[in-house]
Amino acid sequence: MLKLLNESYRIEHLRGGHPPKLSVLDRLVIMLSYYRDYRTMENIAFEYGVAKSTVCECVKWVENILIKSGEFSLPKKRELVRDTEIEVVLVDATECEIERPKKNSGNLTREKRKSTR
């Protein structure tokens, strides 16, 4: 995975330019920690000392390269369904009585409304 990302980075930056703040390995670790640990982008950005938008760009960059390569893909939905056993979950949705206050209009305390003028 890292070799693929390094090769793609080298091809994109043949002319040189400003060196990135995050290495290719850091970008990969950011993407993996984002998906593995379900951490927020703000949390990851704080840890690496970069902006949230930089983390978002890193995740998208790594995703796009891995998708274009075709080497790292998730199994199709039909393949997942074949391998899993279907469990039935029943939900008890019968009606339950809700206790309501009794009609005691004589016992209510009434408050005078005050004008706010």
Does position 11 have pLDDT exceeding 70, yes or no?
A: yes
Q: What is the pLDDT of residues 66-75, one digit of tens each?
A: 888 888 777 7
Q: Are 44 and 30 in contact (CB under 8 A)?
A: yes
- Quick one: tokens of 54? 């930089």
Q: What is the mean pLDDT of the chain?
A: 82
Q: What is the pLDDT of residues 81-109, one digit of tens each?
A: 777 777 788 887 778 777 877 776 666 66
Cα gap 81→75, rounded to integer Å: 10
Domain ranges, ordered by start, for the chain: 1-10+23-70
Buried b / exposed e over 46-76, threshold 16 CB at 10 Å, is: eebebeeebbeebbebbeebbeeeeeeeeee
Largest CA distance in the chain: 87
**pTM (2 d.p.):** 0.59
Q: How confident is the model at residue 20 (pLDDT cuts 50, 70, 90)?
A: confident
